[in-house]
Structure 1
Amino acid sequence: MIKLQHNVDAKKISTRIEQLAGCSSTSFGVTRLPFTAESSEAERLVEEWMKAAGMTVRKDGLNNIIGRYEGKDPSAPVLMIGSHLDSVIEAGKYDGILGVISGIEVVQTLRDNGLILDNPIEVVGFCDEEGVRFHSTFLGSKAIAGTFAAEDLERADEKGITIAEALKGIGIVDPYAYKSASRTPEELLAYLELHIEQGPVLEKENEPVGVVSGIASATRFSFEIIGKPGHAGTVPVTIRQDALLGASDLISYIEKIALQNEPLVATVGKLTVGPGASNVIPGLVTGTLDIRDLNVERKQKAIDAILTEGNKIAKSRGLQMKFDLVMEADPVYCNEDMIKLIEESISERSGSVVRLVSGAGHDAMAMADVTNVAMIFVRCKDGLSHHPDEFVTEEDMGAGAEVLYSTVIKLATKQ
């Protein structure tokens, strides 16, 4: 193992995360959607820090920001590390960001120690992983993996702004430049991502860092329930076509199916009721359904049951119910050789090795289409994420960055 004169600076990681938290459209929590003024400000800071760490910086055709630390052989395959810069609505500070800032600090530490590895290192801040604005996840990593499609440019946000229009709004004149972002398997050595766990396992095991064995399959639908609006005071309950009651029946059934198929999880995370007046019977409900499981067969059976029950509910209440598939992500299994290197790095700092399955989706899922992937998880308080109270201690940030640093050296050094 290489002896170091300089170690990773956990304080710097923490300070930079606090700075990025200020790049938000809300004062409560962090709200940073892609291709916005807030995301542009975050990218400006990240670019500044990447350059200070000795990287050359560029943005690709879908506005992913990439810092490159050259290797001994510039033509060798690239080890890519990083995560995403976008957030959910009123999120915490660490989701995605911890991986990007830790990646920058890893490169800074390599430079401070005078280390140039055999393979180039690229730190990437993906533009959109969460999928909140355009209702489709992994846009940035799909562009690099070569799975972003032309029709994706026509996805629109709630204001009707398409991805193509949003890209033009930040200065990318030709939205079809996304094609230039794609990388080939030959160009990449591997993709390595550090991320907060977003769950309670590491806290329960009293370990700051763990290694991910796989990422659960995820399916996301949007749904629409059409009823008949009417006067709340004059239409008898027995003859109403109340779309919200249909939604209530559907949501209760979704919970029932999830409980019957644990550890499968299912979530109706968004619901909009129209016309939205206290004295009008709801005539339209739109919503989202998110279902996740590492077992694809069990997940599909649950989906089939929900769709069948939805039709029954609609028929019994005189409603129309429509489901549209928004996203389908296969389960991803992390590369076993990379897992072993991460485990070695954890053991070297006297940690116990904990392997975890991720129920949350990550950019590694998209990157698995083009290269081998692995993930390092860092403990978060109460397993809480996607919430302003999301929290990681400075000590745990340092532990995660140390494991990332050690693993990067192992991966990018020829044996």
Structure 2
Amino acid sequence: MNDLEITRLESTLEEINKIGASENKGITRLAYTKEHWKANEYFIRKCKEEGMSVRMDPCGNIIARREGREPHLPVVACGSHLDTVQEGGKYDGTLGVVAGLEIIRSLNKKGITTRNPIEIISFACEESARFGVSTIGSKAMAGKISHESLEKLKDKDGISFREALAGVGLDLEGIGAAHRSRNEFKVFFELHIEQGPLLENSSVQVGLATGIAAPTRLEVTIRGKASHSGTTPMNMRKDALIGAAEIITGLEKAALAEQGHGTVATAGVCHVHPGAMNVVPDFVSLKLEIRGTVIQSRQAVLDRLFKLIYELEEQRGLEIATNILSDEDPVILDKHVLSYVSSRCDNLGITYQNMMSGAGHDAMNMAQLCPVGLIFIPSKDGLSHHKDEYSSIEQIAIGVSLLEHVMVQYADTDIEIIGANADTKNVI
């Protein structure tokens, strides 16, 4: 990319990130809020300025299309998302959308046409920050989410998913029409910040994802007996919080035993009742996550956890219940796309490493529709979902340049596509 293009790309990122910016320099564009929709409107306007046709599907996904010389051919697509977490960063998701726009600008400036049409997709509700479910837009596009499950969703203010859709002029009843068929796509790419420290630590310019980890999420409730903290002897207590603490540390030990497979576990939510300094807690609820790319390893952590829970019930006289909230399959990405992108890196002199993605992305749902490539650029200090999230414009430019090269090649040549979908079943 020349200096003019880098300046234009940087300016677009700055403009879109004025939307939802706080005094703390964080960005908040929760899904289907006015801030999210203002960002959508900005993106739509810029795409139309480049001569693209733009439509919004019933889930709120924005599809911007640059026609090809043979419009009937399946599209070469890229994209990500414009919604954010609360007080998030400037690059998570936004980079992948703006990158697509910049590629179209570049092609227009050079007068390049392509055989296949090109689409940029800005997916709705990628973040789970509002409704507790992630990648809703791409799940709807891939036909992986039901009307019934969406009907149950509410945000922290009690606003239902249905009401949120209605607030931006969409109707939950039509959500099924967001589903697209496999024959519409040739390939999909997502450019994203790594959200971790590996690329920066290894001084590599890009990461090429071989697969995407998926979580098992569960709620654990521990019931003990409330009593006076000063008059109840230690050996006569049924302390729900002590039980919760042992579950949390036990979860860590179980994940450490599986770290060779890259499996991780987190206790992210803990609520204690009654929450008084002078009362032994009688109730605790935990929300836990076990995430990995190897199903057997993830299950091993869960098995160790259940064994520990049984032992705690016996030893401490607690009542412990578990509820699996979600159990998603990891995705192994298309090896032929990976091989081709690797070869382009070699040709362009871009250093790269193959890596698994620990975070979920819209790409994992698109892998149900077509072969997918997921490209990472380094994140400073591995930070993401944070106001200090940062990737340099030089790092961004390398990622966008690589994305442009591979998209143009896929859109203008008969690169062989072997296999319609990613492998979602894993063996050790």
Q: Which amino acid aligns with 2:308?
A: E
* Residue 164, structure 1, aligned to residue 162, structure 2: yes
After TM superposition, the structure 1 stretch with the greater mean CA deviation from structure 2, 270-279 or 213-222, is 270-279
With over 3 angstroms needed to count, the CA separation of the structure-2 counterparts of 1:319 and 1:50, relative to structure 1, is: farther
Query: In terms of mean alpha carbon deviation, does 331-340 or 25-34 score higher?
Result: 25-34
Question: Which residue does the alignment assign to 1:33?
Answer: 30
The DSSP-based 3-state class of the residue aligned with 1:412 is helix
TM-score (normalizing by structure 1):
0.92
Q: What's the % identity of the aligned pairs?
A: 38
Kept after mapping to 2: 8 A contact 1:86/1:128: yes
Contact 1:25–1:38 (CA under 8 A) maintained in structure 2? no
2:92 matches 1:92:
no
Query: Is the counterpart of residue 119 in structure 1 residue 119 in structure 2?
Result: no
| Stretch moving more, 259-268 or 43-52 | 43-52
- Does the C-alpha gap of structure 1 residues 311 and 135 become closer, same or farther in structure 2, counting only changes over 3 Å? farther
- Residues in 1 aligned to 2:389 and 2:256: alpha-carbon distance in whole angstroms: 26
Correspondence for 2:307 = 308
Q: What is residue 11 of structure 1 aligned with on the other side?
A: 7
Counterpart check, 1:333 vs 2:351 = no
Normalised to the residue count of structure 2, the TM-score between the two structures is 0.89
- Helix, strand or coil for the counterpart of 1:24? coil
Contact 1:81–1:193 (8 Å) recurs in 2? yes
* Cα-Cα RMSD: 2.2
User: 1:26: Cα distance to partner?
Assistant: 4.9
Q: Which residue of 2 aligns with 1:225?
A: 222
Q: 1:380 to 1:409 in 2, by over 3 A?
A: same
Deviations 1:14-64 (A, max 9, x none): 333333333337543223221112212221222222222322222111111
For the Cα contact (< 8 Å) 2:70–2:117, is it kept in 1?
yes
Match of 2:397 in 1: 398
CA–CA separation in structure 2 for the residues paired with 1:49 and 1:278: 56
Distance 1:191 1:232, change over 3 A: same
1:233 Cα offset (Å): 4.4
Give the letter for the 2:388 counterpart. D
Indicate how the Cα distance of structure 1 residues 240 and 48 shifts in structure 2: closer, same or farther if over 3 A, else same.
farther
Q: CA deviation at 1:238?
A: 3.5
Q: CA deviation digits over 1:296-334, x for unaligned, max 9? A: 111111111112212332443333323222232222122
CA contact (8 A) 2:31 2:127 kept: no
Q: Deviations over 1:119-161 (max 9, x none)?
A: 1111111112221222222111100001111122212222332
TM-fit CA distance, 1:8:
8.0
In 2, Cα distance between the equivalents of 1:8 and 1:408? 21
Are residue 281 (structure 1) and residue 280 (structure 2) matched? Answer: yes
Corresponding position of 1:264: 263
Which residue number corresponds to residue 246 of structure 2?
249
Residue 400 of structure 1, CA deviation: 0.5
Residue 191 (structure 1) aligns with: 188
Measure, in 2, the Cα distance between the counterparts of 1:327 and 1:79. 31
1:93-108 alignment to 2 at 5 Å? Answer: 93-108=90-105
Is 1:295 aligned to 2:304, yes or no?
Answer: no
Contiguous gaps of at least 5 residues in structure 1:
none
1:99–1:193: 8 Å Cα contact kept in structure 2? yes
Q: What letter corresponds to residue 16 of structure 2 in structure 1?
A: L
Task: List runs of 5+ in structure 2 lacking aligned partners.
Answer: 415-428
- Count of residues in correspondence between the two structures: 410
Shift of 1:7: 8.3
Cα contact 1:261–1:298 (8 A) shared by 2 = yes
